[in-house]
C-alpha cells in the first residue's frame, strides 16, 4: 500500500462577504488515505446545520456559512487528519 503525506496545494484564504450572503471557504488536500477535515469557528467545532454546510468533493473540502452576519466574523480553521499525518489551516 502506498501512503502519501498531506499536501495542501490550495490552502484557506480570507474571504469578504456581503451581509446576508453566503461565504464559502475551500481548501484542496491531497493525501492517502483520504483525510478527514474538521472545521472550527473561534475554536468551536462546526457541524452541518442550516447555518453551516460542510462538503467534500474528491480532494476539495468546503465550508459554506449561510446568510453571513456580524457574529460570523472570526477565525475559521480546518484541522486535516488522515491517520498518518495532520495539519491545520486558518
- The 3-class SS string of 10-62 reads ECCCCCCCCCCCCEEEEEEEEEECCCEEEEEECCEECCCCCCEEEEEECCEEE
Model-level pTM?
A: 0.92
Per domain, the residue ranges of the chain are 4-89
Q: For 4-89, CATH number?
A: 2.60.40.10
Q: What is the DSSP letter of 65?
A: E
DSSP character at residue 82: -
CB atoms within 10 A of CB 46: 18
Distance of alpha carbon 55 from the chain centroid:
9
What pLDDT sits at residue 6? 86
In tens digits, what is the pLDDT along the chain, a chain of 90 residues?
667 778 898 889 999 999 999 999 999 999 989 999 999 999 999 999 999 999 999 999 999 999 999 999 999 999 999 999 999 999
The pLDDT of residue 20 is 98
22 to 5, 27, 66, 71: CA distances (angstroms): 32, 17, 4, 14
Amino acid at each position: 500500500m502506498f501512503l502519501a503525506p498531506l499536501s495542501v496545494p490550495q490552502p484557506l484564504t480570507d474571504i469578504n462577504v456581503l451581509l446576508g450572503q453566503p461565504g464559502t471557504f475551500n481548501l484542496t488536500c491531497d493525501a492517502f488515505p483520504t483525510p478527514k477535515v474538521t472545521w472550527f469557528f473561534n475554536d468551536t467545532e462546526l457541524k452541518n446545520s442550516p447555518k453551516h454546510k460542510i462538503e467534500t468533493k474528491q480532494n476539495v473540502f468546503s465550508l459554506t456559512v449561510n446568510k453571513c452576519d456580524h457574529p460570523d466574523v472570526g477565525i475559521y480553521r480546518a484541522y486535516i487528519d488522515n491517520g498518518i499525518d495532520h495539519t491545520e489551516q486558518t
